[in-house]
């Protein structure tokens, strides 16, 4: 499942993924009478791209520091051995139905392969979201993929609407601070009114600041951009590593261009058969599973800072803490307070990776003592907020792509009717994710599909890697993706572990299987299990 709009590019130790409350969904699937413009994301074959674009020459230069929209920071450091990161821009049609018309600039990054004599081509990464900046993210994990750099240039990009690729702009920093302080789980009519007004104001900001781009930022156009990038890089086939939402993007690419697939890996797999309601409920179940595992681990340890002799007792204590924060926030960072909604976001952030469980334990303990700084910092990482108070555009891009893709919309009444199912899926995250169903209600662009078509007859084998303990993209998604890709195309690999994604989860078995496939073309037997 693609992640939703209130939990942002999470646990940096895992992968960049966005969990804002998911795109909206309705029983009838109409546009609510809003007169929304159509999304330009049809899976019909586009008009041929002009040769002046497919043959364009890229001007690679040393990479600058990430922009504010990409998340700020410093220029990427060279890789071990001294290889530097290079950046460039590629022109792509704004509208592939009008390929000779206006173009958009897409930001790119690469690190050259170590063995140029044995070089296979460019391995293109998408780290998820939608909304994550590949240009800012790839250098953070460059050493994790160093084995793959023996035969590939490592390449990533900011998809259209993301980061430096003419990033979508919505609300300003001050308005976003207020938005994230708002109660995300309204309990009465007045809170519901405030929730709807805030959502309406946010969408109006998106339309005012980026209305001309919003119809063109969907996943189908991003897949077409990848095929253009393949050609511009000089590769006959696409070599691809997609993570989280990047698996959906990879599946859509394979459907559009099955004959152009070379070797592709999909890790932390979105379920392409689920609509937005089903995906949101699945994500609630996934985060509840991760919380169950965290609290069970805590209860078994004598040194755990949280009270409770069982997993259930620890969770009851957490639920009590969140209820207290709804009534009385505690001091956070500077003049900012930790609210219930921000605390829930912070908890989810730390559940993306087992490596961040100690931070979660510490943050909960400190919040109980009146210091909400750590949980607020974890929430900020998901919400895209830097220490200087500026926000990147990942959540704006996330909303734009989700709403351009999904045609489903939820009314206030339908959302409230669905809440019991969410509460059953997760006592902690249910309300939080359930209210997120309204994220696209009133969006100015009508979505393209209920679920994406990822069938890819004639494609080369695609390795689909599922993690049984993944909170954000539940394990069942891998089996569904492999089946939808088609017999002989989707090759399923299972990792029995924790965290979002498997390749960087510490499993030598997974890494050997993926490396052997990408570097040597050795296709694992479908159904292989790594402990």
Kindly list the catalytic residues: 244, 470, 500
What is residue 249's three-state secondary structure?
helix
User: Phi and psi for 357 in degrees, rounded to 5?
Assistant: -60, -40
Beta carbons of 221 and 96 less than 8 angstroms apart: yes
Task: Look at residue 359 and give its three-state secondary structure.
Answer: helix
Length of the chain: 531
Is residue 477 a contact partner of residue 293, using CB atoms and an 8 Å limit? no
> In angstroms, what CA-CA distances link 115 with 119, 123, 514, 515?
6, 14, 19, 15
How many angstroms separate the CA atoms of 54 and 46, rounded? Answer: 14
What is the DSSP secondary-structure string of 43-86?
A: -SPPPPPPHHHHTPPP--EE--PPPTTTT---PPPPPTTSPPPE
SS3 assignment, position 90: strand
Nearest CA to 120 out of 519, 529, 457 is that of 519
Q: How do strand 86-93 and strand 61-62 relate by DSSP bridges?
A: antiparallel
CA distance 515 to 147: 8
**Residue closest to 348 by CA, chosen among 19, 5, 13:** 19
């Amino acid at each position: 499942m693609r992640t939703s709009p209130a939990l942002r590019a999470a646990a940096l130790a895992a992968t960049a993924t966005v969990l804002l409350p998911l795109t909206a969904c309705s029983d009838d699937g109409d546009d609510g009478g809003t007169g929304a413009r159509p999304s330009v994301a049809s899976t019909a074959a586009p008009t041929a791209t002009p040769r002046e674009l497919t043959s364009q020459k890229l001007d690679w230069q040393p990479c600058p520091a990430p922009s504010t929209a990409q998340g700020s920071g410093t220029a990427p450091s060279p890789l071990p051995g001294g290889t530097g990161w290079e950046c460039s821009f590629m022109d792509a049609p704004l509208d592939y139905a009008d390929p000779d018309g206006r173009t958009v600039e897409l930001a790119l990054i690469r690190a050259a392969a170590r063995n140029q004599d044995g070089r296979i081509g460019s391995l293109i990464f998408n780290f998820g979201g939608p909304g994550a900046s590949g240009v800012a993210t790839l250098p953070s994990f460059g050493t994790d993929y160093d084995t793959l750099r023996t035969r590939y240039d490592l390449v990533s990009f900011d998809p259209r609407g993301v980061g430096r690729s003419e990033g979508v702009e919505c609300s300003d920093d001050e308005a976003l601070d207020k938005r994230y302080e708002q109660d995300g789980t309204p309990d009465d009519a007045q809170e519901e009114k405030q929730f709807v007004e805030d959502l309406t104001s946010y969408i109006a900001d998106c339309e005012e600041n980026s209305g001309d781009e919003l119809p063109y930022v969907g996943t189908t156009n991003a897949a077409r951009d990848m095929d253009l990038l393949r050609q511009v890089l000089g590769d006959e086939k696409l070599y691809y590593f997609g993570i989280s939402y990047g698996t959906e993007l990879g599946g859509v690419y394979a459907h559009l261009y099955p004959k152009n697939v070379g070797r592709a890996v999909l890790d932390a797999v979105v379920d392409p058969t689920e609509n937005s309601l089903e995906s949101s409920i699945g994500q609630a179940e996934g985060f509840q599973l991760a919380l169950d595992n965290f609290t069970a681990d805590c209860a078994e340890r004598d040194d755990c800072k949280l009270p409770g002799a069982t997993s259930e007792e620890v969770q009851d204590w957490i639920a009590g803490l969140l209820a207290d924060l709804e009534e009385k926030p505690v001091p956070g960072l500077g003049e900012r307070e930790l609210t219930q909604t921000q605390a829930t976001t912070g908890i989810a952030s730390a559940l993306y990776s087992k490596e961040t469980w100690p931070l979660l334990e510490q943050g909960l303990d400190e919040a109980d003592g009146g210091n909400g700084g750590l949980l607020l910092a974890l929430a900020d990482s998901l919400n895209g907020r830097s220490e200087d108070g500026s926000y990147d555009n990942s959540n704006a891009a996330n909303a734009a792509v989700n709403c351009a893709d999904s045609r489903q919309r939820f009314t206030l009444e339908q959302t409230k009717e669905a809440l019991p199912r969410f509460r059953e899926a997760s006592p902690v995250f249910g309300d939080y994710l359930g209210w997120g169903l309204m994220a696209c209600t009133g969006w100015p662009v009508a979505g393209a599909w209920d679920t994406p078509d990822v069938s890819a007859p004639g494609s080369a084998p695609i390795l689909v890697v599922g993690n049984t303990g993944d909170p954000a993209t539940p394990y069942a998604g891998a089996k569904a993706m492999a089946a939808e890709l088609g017999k002989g195309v989707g090759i399923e690999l299972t990792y029995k572990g924790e965290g979002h994604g498997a390749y960087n989860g510490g499993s030598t078995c997974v890494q050997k299987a993926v490396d052997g496939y990408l570097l040597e073309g050795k296709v694992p037997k479908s159904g292989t299990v790594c402990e």
